[in-house]
Structures are given as structure tokens and as C-alpha cells.
A and B are shown apart, each in its own frame.
Chain A
Amino acid sequence: MLTEIDKKLIRLLQEDLPVVPRPFAALAEQVGLTEEDVIARARRYHAEGLMRRFGVALRHREVGFTANGMGCWDVPEERAEEVGRIMATFPEVSHCYQRPRFDGWPYSHFTMIHGESRDDCEAVARRISAATGITNYRLLFSTEELKKTSMRYFTEEA
């Protein structure tokens, strides 16, 4: 169970860590804990899976991953689990989920595919298709990034 202190610390851990020799001491001061306690709690959040990772968030377009395609796949329900697992093994695939279909949308599996170009992403999709036998798919490229932020949990505005 998370206490109010934990929520306050999680709020701070979602901010931008100052680039100074002892950054967690700076956080400790703001939250009213010791540096040791901040470090112990942050490690606990990570160990318990509350925090998926602690590190830098890159602007992907700045590091050469200029293309991302959302692969959308029509996978028969009886093969949903097996096919999803195969898709997840591709290193170019960052996210892989099964989602509901809806009217006009026959696709159940979603794979975010990252590459240096459209051709790259399309080649990955062809390899996924070959590996899974799923041939009804679409690769939706983004034409514009309208918003990209990190979620802030436990803020006032919900």
C-alpha cells in the first residue's frame, strides 16, 4: 500500500532528476526523507514492479529511429496467445497487445515497429507475417506526432 509520502516521492521521481553529483539527496530534501530512505524506496518501487525502469527518456527522432509503424494484425482468437508471443520476440517491436475489434476494424493485435525508415518497418512487418502466418495486416505510419509526454501519476488534476 502506498502512503502519502510514497505518492509524494513518486511525483518527484517522475520529474527531471537534477544533473548533480548527489541527485537523490536533492529529492530527499523536497520530500522530507533521508537520502538513504529515498534510494531504498525507489529501489523497492522498481523491485515490486511499480516502477518499470528508471533512466533517461530519449527523443527517438533525434537518435535515428525516424520511422514508427503501428502494425495491426487480424489474428484468429484461437491463435491469439501463440501469435502474440511470437510477435513480442522481434527486437524492433516495442509494444505488443491484443485489443478489441470494432465495426470496420478487423485487426486484433497491435505491434509498434521502430526503424530507421518506412522500408525498414515494412520489412520487419513482412518477417512477422512470415513467422506467424498472419497475412491480413496493415502498417499505419504516423504523419504527425501531435502529443508525446510522460504520464504524471498522483498529480492533482488526475
Chain B
Amino acid sequence: MHLDDLDRRLLTIIQSSFPIVAEPYKQLAETLGTTESDVIERVQRFKDDGLVRRIGGIFDSRALGYKSTLCAMKVPADKLDLAIEVVNSYPGVTHNYLREHEFNLWFTLITPSPEYMDKVLDEIREKTGCEVHNLPALRFFKIKVDFKLDKQSPTAAAAVE
């Protein structure tokens, strides 16, 4: 998908600070020196083309009282399909990646309570027959998700939910 200069400026703004005002597209149009309908058309195109997954809030799991963690599993090849199906079936599993290492399956899990987290991890162990290493953060140094797109050579200015 081709992005012109205005597209990139618009995307950069609405990634981190979509205006929480009655008429957000009108405000964006004023900032960018264009019309409200032009901004709406561009945003709709980002969504239609699959560039934008969603416009919404990213909430802080800890501030809402939820528990989050990263888990690692060593899954043998013949159990991989089963393990992926089991892990992905939980709504609290938000990311799941296959990685190049003997610990090959890495997923994030967010749950409303520590008890529920233990229950989910026990179920995954039981259903897959594989150990799940639970690695909750001990220290937080950075959580961010904005990618700067308004420069020629885009560098990640930080990342994910």
C-alpha cells in the first residue's frame, strides 16, 4: 500500500494520540491542514487495506488489576499442532510465536487473577503433556507501541500491547 506524506503524518498522530474529542477527524484535519472528509477517507482506506487493525484503547493490565506473564514451552514436533491449538484457545493468550530455539513456543497470557492464571497454565500442561515455564516480569523497564512513520527511514520508536 502506498502511503503519501500526509498518510504518514496522520498515522503517526493517530497511533499514539487519537484525539478524544467530540469531532476527532475535524480536529485532525485542522492539525494537518486538510478537510474532515479527507481524513475520514484516509482512515477508512487504512482499515480497508488492512494496515490498521483497530482504533481503540489499549488498557494497562496491571492498573485494571489483571495479571500478565510470558510463558515458554519446549514442544516436540509431533505435539506442536495440539499445543498451538490448546494455547490459542484461551482468550487471555494475546500473542503466541514459534521461535528458533529448543524452547520453541512463547506466548503472553493476561488473566483477571493469579488463581485463574495458575488454572490456565495447569490446563495447558495437562492437555499438552509439556512443561510451561511461567515468567512474570520482575522489573518493568519499558512498554511502548508507537512506530514513527513520518520519516523516510522509519525506525521503531517502541511497541506492543
Chain A residues at the B interface, C-beta cutoff of 8 Å: 2, 10, 13-17, 19-25, 35-36, 39, 42-43, 45-46, 48-60, 62-65, 70, 80-81, 84-85, 87-88, 91-100, 102, 104-105, 110, 112, 114-116, 138, 140-155, 157-158
Ranked 10 nearest A-B pairs via Cβ: A94-B159, A114-B156, A88-B142, A96-B141, A98-B139, A147-B96, A84-B141, A99-B135, A13-B57, A142-B97
Chain A residues within 8 Å of B22, by CB? 22, 24-25, 35-36, 39
Question: Does any Cβ of A come within 8 Å of B2's Cβ?
Answer: no
Contact across chains for A14 and B154 when beta carbons are under 8 A apart: no
Chain A residues within 8 Å of B96, by CB? 145-148
For chain B, residues 103 to 161, give those with C-beta under 8 angstroms from any C-beta of chain A. Answer: 103, 106-107, 110-112, 116, 133, 135-147, 149, 154-161
> In the docked arrangement, what's the CA distance between A83 and B84, Å?
34
Contact of B11 among A21, A24, A58 (CB under 8 A): A58
The DSSP consensus for interface residues of chain B is: mixed
Contact of B91 among A65, A115, A148, A158 (CB under 8 A): A158
Chain A residues within 8 Å of B146, by CB? 53
Contact of A14 among B56, B95, B145, B158 (CB under 8 A): B56
Contact across chains for A57 and B161 when beta carbons are under 8 A apart: yes
| Known contacts A56-B55, A84-B141; A148/B95 CB under 8 A | yes
Contact across chains for A141 and B23 when beta carbons are under 8 A apart: no
Contact across chains for A93 and B158 when beta carbons are under 8 A apart: yes
| Known contacts A42-B20, A58-B15, A144-B97; A49/B60 CB under 8 A | yes
Kindly provide the distance from the CB of A144 to the nearest chain B CB, expressed in whole angstroms.
Answer: 4
> In the docked arrangement, what's the CA distance between A146 and B94, Å?
10
- Closest B residue to A110 by CB, please name it: B70
- Closest A residue to B85 by CB, please name it: A146
Chain B residues at the A interface, C-beta cutoff of 8 Å: 1, 11, 14-18, 20-26, 36, 40, 43-44, 46-47, 49-61, 63-64, 66, 70, 72, 84, 87-88, 91-103, 106-107, 110-112, 116, 133, 135-147, 149, 154-161
The DSSP consensus for interface residues of chain A is: mixed
Kindly provide the distance from the CB of B49 to the nearest chain A CB, expressed in whole angstroms.
Answer: 8
Contact across chains for A59 and B51 when beta carbons are under 8 A apart: yes
> In the docked arrangement, what's the CA distance between A17 and B101, Å?
39
Contact across chains for B137 and A97 when beta carbons are under 8 A apart: yes
> In the docked arrangement, what's the CA distance between A97 and B23, Å?
38
Kindly provide the distance from the CB of B19 to the nearest chain A CB, expressed in whole angstroms.
Answer: 9
> In the docked arrangement, what's the CA distance between A24 and B27, Å?
14
Contact of A95 among B23, B97, B142, B155 (CB under 8 A): B142
Kindly provide the distance from the CB of B109 to the nearest chain A CB, expressed in whole angstroms.
Answer: 10
> In the docked arrangement, what's the CA distance between A154 and B96, Å?
22
